A and B are shown apart, each in its own frame.
Chain A
Amino acid sequence: MTTTTRGAAVTGAVGSAHTRVEGRDKVTGAARFSGEVPFAELTHGWLVLSTVARGRIRSVEDGPVLAMPGVLTVLHHENAPRVDIDYMGMLGRPNPILGIFQHDRVPFAGWPVALVVAETSEQAREAAEALVVRYDEEPHDVAFRAGRPDAYTPQDSPLVQAETEKGDLEAQLAASAVVLEAEYTTPEEHHNPMEPHAATARWEGGRLDVIDSNQGSTWVAGELAQLFSLDPASVRVRSEHVGGAFGSKGLSPHQVAAVMATTVLQRPVRVVLTRRQMFSLIGYRSPTAQRIRLGADADGRLRALDHQAQSLTSTVYEFVESSAVLGRVMYDADAHHTLHRLVRLDVPTPTWMRAPGEAPGSFALESALDELAEKCGMDPIALRVRNEPGTAPVSGLPFSSRNVLACYEEGARRFGWAGRDPRPGLRREGRWLLGTGMAAATYPSGVGPSTAAVTAEPDGTFTVRINAADVGTGARTAMALVAADALEVEADRVRVRIGDSDLGPAMIAGGSMGTRSWGWAVTIAANELRELLALGDGIPPEGITARSNTAEAIGALAQQERHSFGAQFAEVAVDEDTGEVRVRRLLGIFAAGTIVNPLTARSQLVGGMTWGLSMALHEEAVRDQASGGHVGADLVGYHYAAHADVPVIEADWVDDPVPGDPVGIKGIGEIGIVGVAAAIANAVWHATGVRHRNLPIRPDRVLRAADEARRRAAGGARGA
């Protein structure tokens, strides 16, 4: 049968709700994640991590362990295959943690020192726990605090501009009728995707074949080829289902370890991280110490904005948590200064975690705006509206679209913001003090080069090939909808293949760039295919395929500031006798370009907001200064929001056309979390009259703050 698309053209798939195409597999348990693909002769690797925070490995006593039942090999710095970490990868130089077992140095607690491989996971685990590693320990320093004298300003990189500056800050602060100066801190936070990182590697027909869980198999395959000096065409990485990622699933030691071991043993090797190991091997969000100074006229117009953010990095690699970038987009001022500072400590290297930069940065800046509104006697929304810039405050470039005002308006209407009494500490319901708060949100809408192929099959169906990663976003479904509209056919005639480096290079699922990047490539290929089919020559048995590559088109994009925007609203209840803070409801309204699949988009935005709630009230990794490792590196020691913590959360969006943009899709993975912690902290102030500038807002902090407020009130009364 030959079918062309002439005749009944169908569009409208994009923008209408579709359940996930792989949904049935996921609710029946049929979907196989990376550690679940069976192989004959499979062996199991178990990593052994350093127990000291700094020093040298004196010896790895592998003899007794090699004699244990089932143990096949123990890899460590004296016998492991060599790898090359001196290369430039897709996202820059590799993190030296990929160079496992190459030297005897230990730069932090939880550094990989050995891999034990055995016939079964039980044997590997017992042998790994029995392995004796001796160290020459050196003193370590893991103390992150504001204003460390050894803090430095990092060099600019393609990813982060360290400092921006315009105007005379001190002069503008001096000329301001209202000045706010405050310091904010956020703790170390961990991604903790539900699926632990897992890779199975084997040599098959002269090629390295890796089943992995990652955010981009083009990226992982390319890096593995570099690390092991292999022809890129001889490396295949597949990642069909990914059990959450949030920035943590790129290159990690487990993939390198699995490839080393399969090369040594010539049998398939699976390496799965334990939950505890994830705390030191996959990156995390750096703690931050942020100082904000705002100066304004009496009517709230900003004269000065200064946002300085300190974060940490390891001694082996530099990562900047770009917390100060928010003000470069959100608010203009006559004098404007943003600065990142870093401290190098004996800790693992941080990495991207959901809304890197904007998540902690928005807590500080959007809390500060609320404090300024209080000082100016203004409504927090009115203050933001007054400071709405025409063009981007720092770059001066026009915005591709900026519908944040519509978000404020729609959010205020739906939340019931009008008539809110701004005075704090007035509303009580039984033991609960009630308050409301809001914050703005923004996140860049980036794009990366991708290739795609769309094939018209002889049976009237279509196959889209794009090396996307579905980390829970619904990428398969989204690409089916995008392709269906471009082909002008029903979405159920389109099947989508993703998660395989053999499909050709494509952007990673990260930085809210996936759907925009892949959607662009799929649209171009599908449009071309539709035109080919319109010629009506019939479809041969092998089908007709059109291909695309967006690299050139991306290079030709107009210079504009491209961002998503949003407004977050929160209502909280605070019990000042127990210190408990309960979020009663959250509402987020977003302007994020074309929303491809409303069903899954709402899930993703609500998920981001759930992260914001969790960040505001719960998440905090505690580092033991004496050992340099974590206290309670598990899901009880590190609590993130559970069912009982999460109330009604609503997310919705306003129309956000992007004039002249070839895609119109902006990306929504990050923006849901941005501003939520500030909206909650602002609501806690509205409830109690106490500002919480340190996250998370733990019960002990609420109690201490309430005690101090009572003491001050009593002291003030005595004084009067």
Chain B
Amino acid sequence: MTPSTSSAITLNINGEKYLLPVDHRTTLLDALREHLDLTGSKKGCDQGQCGACTVLVDGRRALSCLQLAVAAEGRVITTIEGVADGDRLHPVQQAFLDLDGFQCGYCTPGQICSAIAVIEEHAAGWPSAATDDLRPDAGVPALGAEEIRERMSGNLCRCGAYVSIVQAVARAAEAAGSEDKEAVA
């Protein structure tokens, strides 16, 4: 018997189910780009160093180039193609567009997916290396520029758009924060 080198798997991506046969060596990133024509997730290094392939897996940011597609079965995957609400851009996307938080646009899907998760991680009270007060009862740290820079540092941008990316993330976080307050009120 020859050992099988491929499997038929089902992936849950952006709310759709995709049944596809994949080579066991295929990464989640290549499954998206080469098999499902979801080319929004980018391949900048293919070894987990640049962040361009960042997607959300079960709501948390993940490098899709470092995951095998077969291991992503059963997970809820959101890519850049799935973050907008129909024609209405996600607030992070809108802020990137308005504040010119990109130049060539190649790192942008990864930056945006990462930023969406950063805002949620921060709201959930997760500290970062830039957080001054790490005591459990310190509460949610302020999401200032230093916090955003630290939390976004896994996403490289060679055009050097960092300054406006940080502004865009701050603006989107502010909008998300005020929405939360409205919801509470």
Q: Which residues of A pack against B, CB within 8 Å? A: 19-20, 22-33, 35-36, 38, 120-123, 126, 191-196, 241-246, 272, 274-275, 471-474, 599-600, 602-604, 606-611, 614, 634-636, 640-644, 646, 648-649
Which 6 residue pairs spanning A and B have beta carbons closest together? A29-B40, A610-B160, A243-B106, A472-B104, A26-B105, A607-B160
14 CB contacts below 8 A, A to B, read A23-B97, A25-B105, A27-B109, A122-B26, A191-B158, A474-B103, A604-B103, A611-B160, A634-B45, A634-B49, A641-B160, A642-B153, A643-B155, A646-B149
How many whole Å from A81's CB to the nearest CB in chain B? 27
Contacting pair B41 A194 (CB below 8 A):
no
A614 to B149, CA, bound (A): 15
Contacting pair A603 B100 (CB below 8 A):
yes
- A614 and chain B: residue at smallest CB distance: B160
A23 to B103, CA, bound (A): 9
A427 to B130, CA, bound (A): 25
Contacting pair A275 B160 (CB below 8 A):
no
How many whole Å from B184's CB to the nearest CB in chain A? 29
- A604 and chain B: residue at smallest CB distance: B103
B146-185 interface code vs A (CB 8 A; 1 in, 0 out) = 0011101111111111111110000000000000000000
Contacting pair B45 A120 (CB below 8 A):
no
- B49 and chain A: residue at smallest CB distance: A635
B98 at interface, CB cutoff 8 A: yes
User: Which among A28, A121, A196, A472 has the greatest number of chain B C-beta atoms within 10 A?
Assistant: A28
Contacting pair B103 A473 (CB below 8 A):
yes
Contacting pair A24 B89 (CB below 8 A):
yes
- Within 8 Å CB of B81, what residues of A? 28-30
Contacting pair B164 A603 (CB below 8 A):
yes
Contacting pair A243 B42 (CB below 8 A):
yes
- Within 8 Å CB of A640, what residues of B? 156, 158
- A473 and chain B: residue at smallest CB distance: B103
How many whole Å from B108's CB to the nearest CB in chain A? 5
How many whole Å from A254's CB to the nearest CB in chain B? 15
Contacting pair B43 A648 (CB below 8 A):
no
A123 to B26, CA, bound (A): 10
A195 to B152, CA, bound (A): 19
- Within 8 Å CB of A473, what residues of B? 103
- A245 and chain B: residue at smallest CB distance: B104
Given A27-B112, A194-B106, 12 further pairs, Cβ under 8 A: A27-B89, A27-B93, A29-B109, A191-B158, A194-B50, A242-B104, A243-B106, A244-B106, A472-B104, A606-B163, A607-B159, A643-B150
- Within 8 Å CB of B38, what residues of A? 29
Q: Which of A36, A38, A241, A611 contacts B105 (CB 8 A)?
A: A241
Contacting pair B49 A646 (CB below 8 A):
no
How many whole Å from B157's CB to the nearest CB in chain A? 7
Contacting pair A643 B166 (CB below 8 A):
yes
A643 to B162, CA, bound (A): 6
- Within 8 Å CB of B33, what residues of A? 36
A706 to B107, CA, bound (A): 38
A33 to B107, CA, bound (A): 12
Contacting pair A646 B163 (CB below 8 A):
yes
- B90 and chain A: residue at smallest CB distance: A27
Q: Which of A28, A36, A120, A642 contacts B84 (CB 8 A)?
A: A28
How many whole Å from A572's CB to the nearest CB in chain B? 17
B77-114 interface code vs A (CB 8 A; 1 in, 0 out) = 00111001000010001101110101111111100100
- Within 8 Å CB of B84, what residues of A? 28
- Within 8 Å CB of B37, what residues of A? 38
- Given A26-B102, A29-B79, A33-B106; A122-B23 close (CB under 8 Å): yes
User: Which among A29, A191, A606 has the greatest number of chain B C-beta atoms within 10 A?
Assistant: A29
- Within 8 Å CB of B23, what residues of A? 120, 122-123
B132 at interface, CB cutoff 8 A: no
A576 to B147, CA, bound (A): 25
Q: Which of A28, A471, A602 contacts B104 (CB 8 A)?
A: A471
Contacting pair B163 A649 (CB below 8 A):
yes
A159 to B159, CA, bound (A): 26
A275 to B45, CA, bound (A): 5
- Given A600-B100, A640-B156; A195-B44 close (CB under 8 Å): yes
Contacting pair B162 A646 (CB below 8 A):
yes
B121 at interface, CB cutoff 8 A: no
- Given A29-B79, A640-B158, A644-B149; A603-B103 close (CB under 8 Å): yes
How many whole Å from B37's CB to the nearest CB in chain A? 6
Contacting pair A19 B98 (CB below 8 A):
yes
- Within 8 Å CB of B158, what residues of A? 191-194, 244, 246, 640
How many whole Å from A588's CB to the nearest CB in chain B? 12
How many whole Å from B118's CB to the nearest CB in chain A? 10
How many whole Å from B137's CB to the nearest CB in chain A? 27
- Within 8 Å CB of B44, what residues of A? 194-196, 275, 635
Contacting pair A194 B157 (CB below 8 A):
yes
A243 to B159, CA, bound (A): 9
- Within 8 Å CB of A600, what residues of B? 100, 103
- Within 8 Å CB of A195, what residues of B? 42, 44, 104, 106
B8-51 interface code vs A (CB 8 A; 1 in, 0 out) = 00000000000000010110001001100111111111110110
- Given A26-B102, A606-B163, A643-B150; A32-B112 close (CB under 8 Å): no
A267 to B81, CA, bound (A): 30
How many whole Å from B23's CB to the nearest CB in chain A? 5
Q: Which of B30, B52, B153 contacts A194 (CB 8 A)?
A: B52
- Within 8 Å CB of B162, what residues of A? 610, 641-643, 646
- Within 8 Å CB of A22, what residues of B? 105
Contacting pair B47 A275 (CB below 8 A):
yes
- Given A274-B46, A275-B45, A643-B152; A26-B160 close (CB under 8 Å): no
- A42 and chain B: residue at smallest CB distance: B34
A642 to B152, CA, bound (A): 9
- Within 8 Å CB of A641, what residues of B? 160, 162
Contacting pair B109 A644 (CB below 8 A):
no
Contacting pair B46 A275 (CB below 8 A):
yes
- Given A24-B89, A472-B103; A603-B161 close (CB under 8 Å): yes
Contacting pair A599 B153 (CB below 8 A):
no
